[in-house]
Amino acid sequence: MRRFLLPLICVMLGVLPAHAYDYPFKDPYAATVMGTLPEDELPLSSVRPPGFRDLNPLRDLGAVRVREILMHDRPVPELLWYDDALQYSTALQRRRAPLLFVIAGTGSSYDSANCRYLQQVFHRAGFHVVTLSSPTYPNFVVSTSSTQVPGFIPQDVADLYRCMNAIADEIGRDQIISVNLTGYSLGGTQAAFLAELDSREKRLGFRKILMINPAVNLMASAMRLDRLLADNVRDRADAAHKVAHLVEELSAAYKSSSEVNFGDDFLYSLGGRTFTETELKILIGVAFRVSLANMVFTSDVCTGAGYIAPRGHAVTREESLSSYMDAAVGVTFEDYVEEYLLPFLAFKDPSMTRERAIAACSLESIAAYLRKSSHIKVMTNRDDLILTKEDLSFLSATFGPRFKLYPIGGHCGNLRYRDNVAVMLDFFQK
Protein backbone atom coordinates (compact mmCIF):
# COMPACT_ATOMS: atom_id res chain seq x y z
CA MET A 1 0.00 0.00 0.00
CA ARG A 2 2.79 2.45 0.90
CA ARG A 3 4.35 1.77 -2.49
CA PHE A 4 1.35 3.36 -4.22
CA LEU A 5 0.74 6.10 -1.65
CA LEU A 6 3.87 8.20 -2.35
CA PRO A 7 3.22 8.66 -6.10
CA LEU A 8 -0.39 9.59 -5.29
CA ILE A 9 0.73 12.23 -2.78
CA CYS A 10 3.25 13.59 -5.31
CA VAL A 11 0.52 13.98 -7.92
CA MET A 12 -1.82 15.66 -5.45
CA LEU A 13 0.81 18.21 -4.40
CA GLY A 14 2.16 18.81 -7.89
CA VAL A 15 5.55 17.44 -6.82
CA LEU A 16 7.88 15.70 -9.23
CA PRO A 17 9.63 12.65 -7.73
CA ALA A 18 13.34 13.47 -7.40
CA HIS A 19 14.43 10.59 -9.66
CA ALA A 20 12.30 11.95 -12.54
CA TYR A 21 13.83 15.40 -12.42
CA ASP A 22 17.44 15.67 -13.62
CA TYR A 23 18.30 19.27 -12.79
CA PRO A 24 22.02 18.89 -11.90
CA PHE A 25 22.51 21.08 -8.81
CA LYS A 26 21.19 19.34 -5.70
CA ASP A 27 22.44 21.98 -3.26
CA PRO A 28 20.03 24.96 -3.08
CA TYR A 29 22.80 27.54 -2.69
CA ALA A 30 24.76 26.15 -5.64
CA ALA A 31 21.56 26.02 -7.71
CA THR A 32 20.77 29.66 -6.90
CA VAL A 33 24.24 30.80 -7.97
CA MET A 34 24.93 28.48 -10.90
CA GLY A 35 21.46 28.62 -12.44
CA THR A 36 20.95 26.48 -15.53
CA LEU A 37 23.77 25.35 -17.79
CA PRO A 38 23.25 26.17 -21.50
CA GLU A 39 23.12 22.48 -22.41
CA ASP A 40 20.25 21.98 -19.94
CA GLU A 41 18.08 24.77 -21.33
CA LEU A 42 15.12 24.02 -23.58
CA PRO A 43 16.29 24.08 -27.23
CA LEU A 44 14.57 26.87 -29.14
CA SER A 45 13.96 24.44 -31.99
CA SER A 46 11.57 22.56 -29.71
CA VAL A 47 9.56 25.75 -29.11
CA ARG A 48 9.00 26.19 -32.84
CA PRO A 49 10.83 24.04 -35.38
CA PRO A 50 12.93 26.15 -37.77
CA GLY A 51 11.17 26.86 -41.05
CA PHE A 52 11.99 28.45 -44.39
CA ARG A 53 11.62 31.96 -42.95
CA ASP A 54 14.42 31.22 -40.47
CA LEU A 55 16.88 31.05 -43.38
CA ASN A 56 16.49 34.82 -43.76
CA PRO A 57 19.25 36.34 -41.57
CA LEU A 58 17.31 39.61 -41.33
CA ARG A 59 14.03 37.98 -40.24
CA ASP A 60 14.27 39.04 -36.59
CA LEU A 61 16.21 42.25 -37.21
CA GLY A 62 14.64 44.86 -34.96
CA ALA A 63 12.24 42.38 -33.35
CA VAL A 64 13.76 43.01 -29.91
CA ARG A 65 13.88 46.69 -29.09
CA VAL A 66 14.73 48.73 -26.02
CA ARG A 67 12.10 51.41 -25.59
CA GLU A 68 11.43 54.34 -23.29
CA ILE A 69 8.20 55.88 -22.06
CA LEU A 70 7.81 58.99 -19.90
CA MET A 71 5.62 58.21 -16.89
CA HIS A 72 5.85 61.46 -14.88
CA ASP A 73 6.14 65.25 -15.09
CA ARG A 74 8.40 65.91 -12.08
CA PRO A 75 12.02 67.11 -12.01
CA VAL A 76 14.73 64.44 -11.85
CA PRO A 77 17.90 64.88 -9.76
CA GLU A 78 20.92 65.87 -11.85
CA LEU A 79 22.77 62.72 -10.82
CA LEU A 80 19.99 60.51 -12.20
CA TRP A 81 19.16 62.42 -15.38
CA TYR A 82 19.57 59.29 -17.54
CA ASP A 83 16.73 57.51 -15.68
CA ASP A 84 14.10 60.13 -16.52
CA ALA A 85 12.08 57.73 -18.70
CA LEU A 86 11.08 54.13 -17.99
CA GLN A 87 13.19 51.70 -19.98
CA TYR A 88 11.73 48.38 -21.08
CA SER A 89 12.14 45.84 -23.88
CA THR A 90 9.70 44.59 -26.49
CA ALA A 91 9.81 41.64 -28.88
CA LEU A 92 6.77 42.03 -31.11
CA GLN A 93 5.26 39.79 -33.75
CA ARG A 94 4.48 41.18 -37.21
CA ARG A 95 0.80 40.37 -36.72
CA ARG A 96 -1.83 40.32 -33.95
CA ALA A 97 -0.68 38.07 -31.13
CA PRO A 98 -1.13 37.37 -27.41
CA LEU A 99 0.94 39.66 -25.20
CA LEU A 100 3.11 38.42 -22.32
CA PHE A 101 4.48 40.80 -19.70
CA VAL A 102 7.56 39.56 -17.80
CA ILE A 103 8.42 41.22 -14.46
CA ALA A 104 12.01 40.92 -13.23
CA GLY A 105 13.03 39.84 -9.74
CA THR A 106 14.33 41.98 -6.88
CA GLY A 107 16.78 44.61 -8.05
CA SER A 108 16.87 43.28 -11.62
CA SER A 109 16.20 45.11 -14.86
CA TYR A 110 14.15 44.38 -17.95
CA ASP A 111 17.47 43.32 -19.53
CA SER A 112 18.39 40.70 -16.92
CA ALA A 113 19.49 37.29 -18.14
CA ASN A 114 16.24 35.63 -17.07
CA CYS A 115 14.10 38.30 -18.73
CA ARG A 116 16.04 38.04 -21.98
CA TYR A 117 15.71 34.26 -21.98
CA LEU A 118 11.96 34.25 -21.34
CA GLN A 119 11.51 36.92 -23.98
CA GLN A 120 13.38 34.82 -26.53
CA VAL A 121 11.42 31.65 -25.75
CA PHE A 122 7.95 33.20 -25.78
CA HIS A 123 8.58 35.41 -28.80
CA ARG A 124 9.52 32.27 -30.71
CA ALA A 125 6.32 30.69 -29.41
CA GLY A 126 4.30 33.45 -31.07
CA PHE A 127 3.80 36.01 -28.29
CA HIS A 128 4.42 39.73 -28.16
CA VAL A 129 6.76 39.91 -25.14
CA VAL A 130 7.42 42.95 -22.94
CA THR A 131 10.04 42.74 -20.19
CA LEU A 132 9.81 45.13 -17.24
CA SER A 133 12.28 46.05 -14.52
CA SER A 134 11.46 45.39 -10.89
CA PRO A 135 9.99 48.39 -9.04
CA THR A 136 13.10 48.03 -6.83
CA TYR A 137 15.40 48.71 -9.81
CA PRO A 138 16.82 52.28 -9.88
CA ASN A 139 15.44 53.22 -13.30
CA PHE A 140 11.91 52.26 -12.18
CA VAL A 141 12.31 54.15 -8.88
CA VAL A 142 13.29 57.35 -10.71
CA SER A 143 10.99 57.13 -13.72
CA THR A 144 7.81 55.39 -12.62
CA SER A 145 7.44 55.00 -8.85
CA SER A 146 4.78 57.46 -7.70
CA THR A 147 6.36 57.73 -4.24
CA GLN A 148 9.99 56.88 -5.16
CA VAL A 149 10.05 54.81 -1.96
CA PRO A 150 9.81 51.18 -3.17
CA GLY A 151 9.11 48.08 -1.13
CA PHE A 152 5.42 48.46 -0.27
CA ILE A 153 3.78 46.01 -2.64
CA PRO A 154 0.33 47.66 -3.03
CA GLN A 155 1.96 50.89 -4.20
CA ASP A 156 4.63 49.20 -6.34
CA VAL A 157 1.94 47.12 -8.04
CA ALA A 158 -0.19 50.19 -8.74
CA ASP A 159 2.86 51.73 -10.45
CA LEU A 160 3.46 48.56 -12.49
CA TYR A 161 -0.19 48.47 -13.52
CA ARG A 162 -0.07 52.06 -14.68
CA CYS A 163 2.99 51.51 -16.87
CA MET A 164 1.67 48.20 -18.26
CA ASN A 165 -1.48 49.93 -19.45
CA ALA A 166 0.57 52.70 -21.03
CA ILE A 167 2.74 50.14 -22.83
CA ALA A 168 -0.30 48.18 -24.05
CA ASP A 169 -1.59 51.44 -25.52
CA GLU A 170 1.80 52.04 -27.19
CA ILE A 171 1.73 48.58 -28.79
CA GLY A 172 -1.88 49.11 -29.85
CA ARG A 173 -4.73 47.29 -28.18
CA ASP A 174 -5.97 46.15 -31.59
CA GLN A 175 -2.69 44.24 -32.05
CA ILE A 176 -3.16 42.27 -28.81
CA ILE A 177 -5.24 39.07 -28.78
CA SER A 178 -4.94 38.54 -25.02
CA VAL A 179 -2.83 39.82 -22.12
CA ASN A 180 -0.77 37.38 -20.04
CA LEU A 181 1.69 37.86 -17.21
CA THR A 182 4.62 36.16 -15.53
CA GLY A 183 7.28 37.23 -13.06
CA TYR A 184 9.99 35.58 -11.05
CA SER A 185 11.02 36.04 -7.41
CA LEU A 186 9.53 39.35 -6.23
CA GLY A 187 8.12 39.74 -9.74
CA GLY A 188 6.19 36.52 -9.19
CA THR A 189 4.67 37.89 -6.00
CA GLN A 190 3.78 41.14 -7.72
CA ALA A 191 2.11 39.19 -10.54
CA ALA A 192 -0.43 37.83 -8.03
CA PHE A 193 -1.19 41.30 -6.69
CA LEU A 194 -1.51 42.63 -10.25
CA ALA A 195 -4.08 39.92 -10.94
CA GLU A 196 -6.09 40.96 -7.91
CA LEU A 197 -5.83 44.65 -8.84
CA ASP A 198 -6.95 43.97 -12.40
CA SER A 199 -9.93 41.96 -11.14
CA ARG A 200 -11.16 45.27 -9.72
CA GLU A 201 -9.88 47.73 -12.34
CA LYS A 202 -10.58 45.49 -15.38
CA ARG A 203 -8.25 47.38 -17.72
CA LEU A 204 -5.98 44.55 -18.90
CA GLY A 205 -8.05 41.40 -18.41
CA PHE A 206 -5.25 38.93 -17.84
CA ARG A 207 -5.93 35.59 -19.51
CA LYS A 208 -3.21 33.62 -17.70
CA ILE A 209 -0.69 34.41 -14.97
CA LEU A 210 2.33 32.35 -13.91
CA MET A 211 4.15 33.06 -10.64
CA ILE A 212 7.73 31.72 -10.67
CA ASN A 213 9.51 31.26 -7.32
CA PRO A 214 7.41 33.95 -5.60
CA ALA A 215 7.87 35.15 -2.04
CA VAL A 216 4.81 34.50 0.13
CA ASN A 217 5.70 37.29 2.54
CA LEU A 218 7.99 39.95 1.09
CA MET A 219 9.40 41.12 4.40
CA ALA A 220 10.16 37.63 5.72
CA SER A 221 11.72 36.42 2.46
CA ALA A 222 13.88 39.52 2.03
CA MET A 223 15.19 39.18 5.57
CA ARG A 224 16.03 35.51 4.91
CA LEU A 225 18.18 36.58 1.95
CA ASP A 226 19.75 39.41 3.91
CA ARG A 227 20.69 37.06 6.75
CA LEU A 228 22.77 34.96 4.36
CA LEU A 229 25.29 37.80 4.52
CA ALA A 230 24.64 39.03 8.06
CA ASP A 231 24.97 35.55 9.61
CA ASN A 232 28.33 34.96 7.93
CA VAL A 233 30.14 38.22 8.76
CA ARG A 234 31.28 39.71 12.06
CA ASP A 235 29.74 43.17 11.78
CA ARG A 236 28.74 45.95 9.38
CA ALA A 237 32.36 46.76 8.56
CA ASP A 238 33.07 43.14 7.70
CA ALA A 239 29.91 43.04 5.59
CA ALA A 240 31.02 46.15 3.68
CA HIS A 241 34.45 44.56 3.14
CA LYS A 242 32.89 41.35 1.79
CA VAL A 243 30.66 43.35 -0.55
CA ALA A 244 33.58 45.43 -1.85
CA HIS A 245 35.73 42.32 -2.38
CA LEU A 246 33.07 40.44 -4.32
CA VAL A 247 32.11 43.49 -6.38
CA GLU A 248 35.79 43.79 -7.35
CA GLU A 249 35.76 40.14 -8.42
CA LEU A 250 32.55 40.77 -10.30
CA SER A 251 34.14 43.63 -12.21
CA ALA A 252 36.94 41.29 -13.27
CA ALA A 253 34.41 38.67 -14.35
CA TYR A 254 32.56 41.20 -16.49
CA LYS A 255 35.67 42.06 -18.51
CA SER A 256 35.11 38.93 -20.62
CA SER A 257 31.33 38.87 -20.37
CA SER A 258 28.39 40.61 -21.97
CA GLU A 259 26.48 40.47 -18.67
CA VAL A 260 26.59 43.88 -17.06
CA ASN A 261 23.73 43.95 -14.57
CA PHE A 262 23.46 43.13 -10.90
CA GLY A 263 20.68 40.89 -9.57
CA ASP A 264 20.52 37.47 -11.22
CA ASP A 265 23.30 38.42 -13.67
CA PHE A 266 25.56 39.23 -10.71
CA LEU A 267 25.41 35.59 -9.65
CA TYR A 268 25.46 34.17 -13.18
CA SER A 269 28.67 35.99 -14.15
CA LEU A 270 30.60 34.22 -11.38
CA GLY A 271 29.10 30.82 -12.09
CA GLY A 272 32.38 29.32 -13.33
CA ARG A 273 34.01 29.41 -9.91
CA THR A 274 33.88 26.79 -7.17
CA PHE A 275 32.62 27.97 -3.77
CA THR A 276 32.19 26.54 -0.30
CA GLU A 277 28.66 26.62 1.14
CA THR A 278 29.56 29.60 3.33
CA GLU A 279 30.95 31.46 0.30
CA LEU A 280 27.79 30.67 -1.65
CA LYS A 281 25.63 32.07 1.15
CA ILE A 282 27.76 35.22 1.33
CA LEU A 283 27.65 35.61 -2.45
CA ILE A 284 23.86 35.39 -2.56
CA GLY A 285 23.64 37.77 0.39
CA VAL A 286 26.03 40.20 -1.30
CA ALA A 287 24.01 40.18 -4.53
CA PHE A 288 20.89 41.02 -2.55
CA ARG A 289 22.68 43.68 -0.48
CA VAL A 290 24.12 45.40 -3.56
CA SER A 291 20.68 45.51 -5.18
CA LEU A 292 19.26 46.90 -1.93
CA ALA A 293 22.03 49.51 -1.69
CA ASN A 294 21.34 50.73 -5.23
CA MET A 295 17.64 51.00 -4.45
CA VAL A 296 18.15 52.78 -1.11
CA PHE A 297 20.63 55.30 -2.50
CA THR A 298 18.46 56.04 -5.53
CA SER A 299 15.36 56.54 -3.39
CA ASP A 300 17.23 58.80 -0.97
CA VAL A 301 18.59 60.99 -3.78
CA CYS A 302 15.09 61.28 -5.28
CA THR A 303 13.27 62.11 -2.05
CA GLY A 304 16.01 64.12 -0.31
CA ALA A 305 15.21 62.22 2.89
CA GLY A 306 18.77 62.47 4.21
CA TYR A 307 19.04 58.74 4.89
CA ILE A 308 22.29 58.25 2.94
CA ALA A 309 23.23 61.66 1.53
CA PRO A 310 23.02 64.68 3.87
CA ARG A 311 19.60 66.33 3.89
CA GLY A 312 19.57 69.39 1.65
CA HIS A 313 22.64 68.29 -0.31
CA ALA A 314 22.09 67.66 -4.02
CA VAL A 315 24.52 64.94 -5.08
CA THR A 316 26.19 65.94 -8.36
CA ARG A 317 27.68 63.96 -11.23
CA GLU A 318 31.13 65.27 -10.35
CA GLU A 319 31.09 63.83 -6.82
CA SER A 320 32.63 60.52 -5.83
CA LEU A 321 29.83 58.17 -4.80
CA SER A 322 32.03 55.71 -2.92
CA SER A 323 31.25 57.08 0.55
CA TYR A 324 27.51 57.00 -0.17
CA MET A 325 27.62 53.44 -1.45
CA ASP A 326 29.76 52.36 1.51
CA ALA A 327 26.99 53.65 3.76
CA ALA A 328 24.24 52.11 1.63
CA VAL A 329 25.68 48.57 1.61
CA GLY A 330 25.69 48.64 5.40
CA VAL A 331 21.89 49.02 5.40
CA THR A 332 20.05 45.73 5.90
CA PHE A 333 16.56 45.19 4.56
CA GLU A 334 15.23 45.32 8.12
CA ASP A 335 17.01 48.67 8.59
CA TYR A 336 15.41 49.97 5.41
CA VAL A 337 11.94 48.87 6.48
CA GLU A 338 12.16 50.12 10.08
CA GLU A 339 14.08 53.36 9.50
CA TYR A 340 12.93 54.46 6.05
CA LEU A 341 9.91 52.67 4.57
CA LEU A 342 7.64 52.44 7.63
CA PRO A 343 8.17 56.08 8.71
CA PHE A 344 7.33 57.15 5.16
CA LEU A 345 4.17 55.03 5.10
CA ALA A 346 3.13 56.38 8.52
CA PHE A 347 3.72 59.94 7.28
CA LYS A 348 1.43 59.32 4.30
CA ASP A 349 -1.14 57.44 6.41
CA PRO A 350 -0.94 58.02 10.20
CA SER A 351 -3.08 54.92 10.79
CA MET A 352 -0.49 52.66 9.16
CA THR A 353 1.20 50.24 11.57
CA ARG A 354 4.14 47.91 11.13
CA GLU A 355 1.81 44.91 11.29
CA ARG A 356 -0.54 46.32 8.66
CA ALA A 357 2.30 47.15 6.29
CA ILE A 358 3.86 43.69 6.56
CA ALA A 359 0.50 41.96 6.14
CA ALA A 360 -0.27 44.03 3.05
CA CYS A 361 2.92 42.68 1.43
CA SER A 362 1.97 39.03 1.95
CA LEU A 363 0.07 36.76 -0.44
CA GLU A 364 -2.07 35.81 2.54
CA SER A 365 -3.76 39.20 2.24
CA ILE A 366 -5.23 38.14 -1.13
CA ALA A 367 -5.53 34.40 -0.42
CA ALA A 368 -9.30 34.34 -0.89
CA TYR A 369 -8.91 35.79 -4.38
CA LEU A 370 -6.05 33.44 -5.30
CA ARG A 371 -7.96 30.35 -4.20
CA LYS A 372 -10.75 30.98 -6.70
CA SER A 373 -8.59 32.25 -9.59
CA SER A 374 -8.20 29.30 -11.93
CA HIS A 375 -6.13 31.33 -14.42
CA ILE A 376 -3.21 31.72 -11.98
CA LYS A 377 -0.52 29.05 -11.54
CA VAL A 378 2.54 29.00 -9.29
CA MET A 379 5.77 27.03 -9.68
CA THR A 380 8.58 26.89 -7.16
CA ASN A 381 11.07 24.56 -5.47
CA ARG A 382 10.94 22.62 -2.24
CA ASP A 383 14.41 23.97 -1.35
CA ASP A 384 13.76 27.61 -2.34
CA LEU A 385 15.86 29.78 -0.01
CA ILE A 386 13.15 32.40 0.49
CA LEU A 387 10.38 30.00 1.54
CA THR A 388 9.63 28.15 4.76
CA LYS A 389 7.69 24.92 5.17
CA GLU A 390 4.74 27.04 6.25
CA ASP A 391 5.02 29.08 3.03
CA LEU A 392 4.97 25.91 0.93
CA SER A 393 1.95 24.64 2.84
CA PHE A 394 0.17 27.94 2.20
CA LEU A 395 0.90 27.76 -1.53
CA SER A 396 -0.28 24.16 -1.72
CA ALA A 397 -3.49 24.87 0.19
CA THR A 398 -4.21 28.05 -1.76
CA PHE A 399 -3.49 26.90 -5.31
CA GLY A 400 -4.18 23.16 -5.08
CA PRO A 401 -3.62 21.53 -8.50
CA ARG A 402 -2.31 24.87 -9.83
CA PHE A 403 0.76 24.53 -7.58
CA LYS A 404 3.83 22.97 -9.24
CA LEU A 405 6.56 22.02 -6.76
CA TYR A 406 9.96 20.84 -7.95
CA PRO A 407 12.17 18.89 -5.52
CA ILE A 408 15.31 20.98 -6.12
CA GLY A 409 16.42 24.18 -7.83
CA GLY A 410 17.06 26.69 -5.04
CA HIS A 411 15.78 30.20 -5.71
CA CYS A 412 15.18 30.55 -9.47
CA GLY A 413 18.15 28.28 -10.22
CA ASN A 414 16.07 26.04 -12.47
CA LEU A 415 14.03 28.81 -14.09
CA ARG A 416 15.65 28.13 -17.49
CA TYR A 417 15.79 24.34 -17.09
CA ARG A 418 14.15 22.48 -20.00
CA ASP A 419 11.47 20.73 -17.91
CA ASN A 420 10.43 23.98 -16.24
CA VAL A 421 10.26 25.94 -19.49
CA ALA A 422 8.21 23.18 -21.12
CA VAL A 423 5.65 23.53 -18.30
CA MET A 424 5.60 27.32 -18.77
CA LEU A 425 4.96 27.00 -22.50
CA ASP A 426 2.25 24.40 -21.99
CA PHE A 427 0.49 26.63 -19.47
CA PHE A 428 0.39 29.73 -21.65
CA GLN A 429 -0.33 27.94 -24.95
CA LYS A 430 -3.39 26.00 -23.74
Indicate the helix (H) or strand (E) that contains 153: helix 153-171
Taking only the tens place, the pLDDT of each residue in 178-214 is 999 999 999 999 999 999 999 999 999 999 999 999 9
Residue 257 has pLDDT above 50, yes or no: no
Of 416, 251, 244, residue with least CA distance to 327: 244
- Which of 3-7, 28-32, 47-51, 176-180 has the highest mean predicted lDDT (pLDDT)? 176-180
Instruction: Produce one character per residue of 346-385: b if its CB has 16 or more CB atoms within 10 Å, e if not.
Output: eeeeeebeeeebbebbbbebbeebbeebeebbbbbbbbbb
CA atoms of 215 and 186, how far apart (whole Å)? 6
Of 380, 422, 427, residue with least CA distance to 42: 422
Residue 310 has pLDDT above 70, yes or no: yes
Domain spans, the chain: 36-216+363-429, 222-348
Backbone angles phi, psi at 148, to 5 degrees: 60, 20
Q: Which CATH architecture has domain 36-216+363-429?
A: 3-Layer(aba) Sandwich (3.40)
Backbone angles phi, psi at 204, to 5 degrees: -110, -35
pLDDT at 290: 86
Of 138, 152, 132, residue with least CA distance to 301: 138
Of 280, 252, 287, residue with least CA distance to 266: 287
